[in-house]
Amino acid sequence: MASLKEVKERIVSVSSTQQITKAMKMVAAAKLRRSQERITQLRPYSEKLGALLANVSSGNSEEGMNAYGEVREVKRVLFVPVTSDRGLCGAFNSNVFKAVRNALTTDEYANAEVEILPIGKKSFDFFKKKSDPVNDKHWGAFGDLSFEVVKAAAEEAMEGFESGKYDKVVLVYNEFKNVATQIVRTEQFLPIVENEVDAESTTNTDYIYEPSKDFIIDELIPKSLKIQFYKAVLESNASEHGARMTAMGKATDNAGDLLKDLRLTYNRTRQAAITKEILEIVGGAEALAADS
């Protein structure tokens, strides 16, 4: 059995850890509120713009005007795994790594050349140890998260696809549902996926382009793609804080349970020591009485 000093030291250590995890939970909760507001405000705009993007793209694919909708044989593919800069957020990052590995084992990418464009320090640290080439220009996007910073990464992926450097671009990120739930998405970014939900209605729709069809193709589609890329990063950012809040909450609860057990052990050990001392005193008194 551990000594009283050892148990007391463990109680102090676990109490300190509990205070840290509780503070981290509160910080994550504060950051989550801000991140959740940003993604909640962007979602309706992004979804509507995405539907319009898919419709315009499918409506012009036959004319060859949309370079971002060209479907090619996948010989070179760019994966964009979006993770966090820090840990202590449960399986948040490892789920993204697992999703990328699972995707690379499919027949579609079996013979393809793969390049990684990581967003987030954890993603960069993980994939730079692998054999696939890693683009190290944009992994620090969360250091100063803004549309302008994320747009640079999106533009590099778009330019690579347009020039033929990549035949496909895939985003892998955590979609925010609520504090306790994040869903890993493996989403095709390029070529643009046609809107299957509205395919029937799109067939019979005549579009009026204002100011011109060229303007729509040259301006709207690239901007829409950058918004979709930015949305994925914001989803991951909100998911990170939700995952960290949940993980730190569980860690705080576990520390509380451990403290209860340690305090019980401490009281039992202390009681046993006191009982032993009493028995020794009684035994000594009886021995003295017998000698006298």
Omega cis (within 30) before 211:
yes
Per the annotation, the verdict on 89 as an active-site residue is: yes
Q: Distance between CA atoms of 195 and 49, rounded to whole angstroms? A: 12
Give the 3-state DSSP-derived string for the chain, with helices as H, strands as E and coil as C: CCCHHHHHHHHHHHHHHHHHHHHHHHHHHHHHHHHHHHHHHHHHHHHHHHHHHHHHHHHHHHHCCCHHHCCCCCCEEEEEEECCCCCCCCCHHHHHHHHHHHHHCCHHHCCCEEEECCECHHHHHHHCCCCCCECCCCCCHHHHCCHHHHHHHHHHHHHHHHHCCCCEEEEEEEEEEECCEEEEEEEEEECCCCCCCCHHHHHCCCCCCCCCHHHHHHHHHHHHHHHHHHHHHHHHHHHHHHHHHHHHHHHHHHHHHHHHHHHHHHHHHHHHHHHHHHHHHHHHHHHHHHHC
Q: Distance between CA atoms of 243 and 178, rounded to whole angstroms? A: 9
* Active-site choice (77, 89, 114, 153): 89
Q: Look up tokens 């036959």; give the residue.
A: 62
Residue among 276, 250, 287 at smallest CA distance from 25: 250
Residue among 232, 217, 94 at smallest CA distance from 169: 232
Q: Which residues are the active-site residues?
A: 89
